């Protein structure tokens, strides 16, 4: 979660492993759930999949109820953000008096804090072993005496698949930082297709199986079965398709039918 005045301490995996860091978050800290009020929360494609399954909602309903889009550091493609409740202090819609109601499906930003993996822009190389420690100034968790290494934290918080999927999305996001659609911007049909392939797995699945997509791209039987039943596999097909559309590269180009 990005907040104003947050302090970012730079480190590498070995630095953190060698020196470790102290942190604990539990109902006993005086700031408990403070970070769940009015956070500026980015949702990544894999976050959306985890949350919509946890809430047993389809993509359209989830996007409508829990998200909004905002243009941030990329002027050419909006980010999807978690919509806060309208009540005082703008709490996260999943915040309850007992804590997070979607804890096992909580988004990457909630899950990773205070460790922030560096994601390389090409999604494939560099920075894979580099991490930051983020400190929100109001967060008392850093004063606790529980010691962690980055590797332990990543394992304990189940961050592995989030990092893997987000790394690939970072490469797609780099392509989306070009002016791909000229003056039409997000009104361009291509932009709407890209948004669907990144964020709306139910519509994308219907598109793949009910359009000429499978005539144009040859997918082997294992991949076909996987995208039929698993949103994460479909999401990676979406990433491949976006890369093919915007750059003409990637694994989907290699298996295109002649």
**Contacts to ligand SF4 by CB under 6 A:** 25, 29, 31-36, 39, 92, 94-95, 100, 102, 106-107, 110, 113, 136, 139-141
Cis peptide leading into residue 235 (ω within 30°): no
Distance of CA 67 to the CA centre of its chain: 13
The nearer residue to ligand SF4, 61 or 128, going by C-beta atoms, is 61
Q: How far is the CB of 199 from ligand SF4 (least distance, A)?
A: 17
List phi, psi (to 5°) of 41: -105, 115
The nearer residue to ligand SF4, 10 or 22, going by C-beta atoms, is 22
The nearer residue to ligand SF4, 81 or 95, going by C-beta atoms, is 95
Q: How far is the CB of 84 from ligand SF4 (least distance, A)?
A: 9
Pick from 167, 173, 169: which is nearest to 128 by CA? Answer: 167
Pick from 31, 11, 16: which is nearest to 148 by CA? Answer: 16
The nearer residue to ligand SF4, 34 or 79, going by C-beta atoms, is 34
Helix %, strand %, coil % for the chain, to 5? 50, 15, 35
Largest CA distance in the chain: 63
- Exposed / middle / buried, residue 204 (Cβ in 10 Å: 0-12, 13-18, 19+): buried
Give the integer Cα–Cα distance in Å for 111 and 137. 18
Q: How far is the CB of 242 from ligand SF4 (least distance, A)?
A: 26
50 membership: H or E segment, kind and range: helix 45-54
- Using an 8 Å Cβ cutoff, are 148 and 46 in contact? no
Q: How far is the CB of 97 from ligand SF4 (least distance, A)?
A: 11
The nearer residue to ligand SF4, 32 or 244, going by C-beta atoms, is 32
Which 3 state secondary structure label does DSSP give 167? helix
- Using an 8 Å Cβ cutoff, are 241 and 251 in contact? no
Q: How far is the CB of 36 from ligand SF4 (least distance, A)?
A: 3
The nearer residue to ligand SF4, 36 or 171, going by C-beta atoms, is 36
The nearer residue to ligand SF4, 48 or 92, going by C-beta atoms, is 92
Q: How far is the CB of 151 from ligand SF4 (least distance, A)?
A: 20
Q: How far is the CB of 184 from ligand SF4 (least distance, A)?
A: 34
Which 3 state secondary structure label does DSSP give 19? helix
């Amino acid at each position: 979660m990005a907040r104003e005045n947050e302090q970012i301490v730079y480190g590498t995996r070995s630095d953190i492993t060698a020196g470790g860091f102290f942190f604990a978050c539990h109902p006993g800290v005086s700031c408990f759930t403070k970070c769940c009020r009015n956070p500026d929360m980015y949702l990544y494609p894999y976050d959306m999949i985890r949350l919509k399954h946890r809430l047993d909602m389809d993509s359209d309903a989830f996007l409508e109820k829990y998200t909004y889009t905002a243009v941030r550091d990329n002027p050419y493609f909006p980010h999807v953000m978690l919509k806060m409740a309208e009540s005082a202090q703008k709490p996260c819609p999943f915040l309850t008096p007992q804590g997070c109601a979607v804890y096992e499906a909580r988004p990457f930003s909630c899950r990773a804090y205070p460790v922030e993996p560096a994601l390389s822009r090409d999604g494939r190389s560099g920075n894979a072993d580099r991490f930051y420690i983020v400190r929100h100034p109001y967060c008392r968790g850093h004063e606790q005496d529980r010691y962690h290494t980055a590797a332990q934290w990543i394992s304990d918080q189940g961050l592995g698949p989030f990092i893997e999927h987000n790394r690939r999305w970072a490469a797609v996001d780099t392509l989306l930082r070009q002016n791909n659609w000229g003056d039409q911007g997000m009104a361009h049909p291509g932009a709407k297709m890209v948004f669907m392939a990144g964020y709306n797995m139910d519509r994308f699945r219907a598109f793949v199986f009910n359009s000429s997509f499978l005539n144009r791209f040859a997918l082997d039987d294992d991949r076909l079965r996987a995208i039929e039943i698993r949103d994460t596999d479909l999401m990676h097909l979406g990433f491949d398709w976006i890369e093919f559309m915007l750059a003409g590269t990637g694994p989907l180009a290699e298996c295109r039918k002649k």
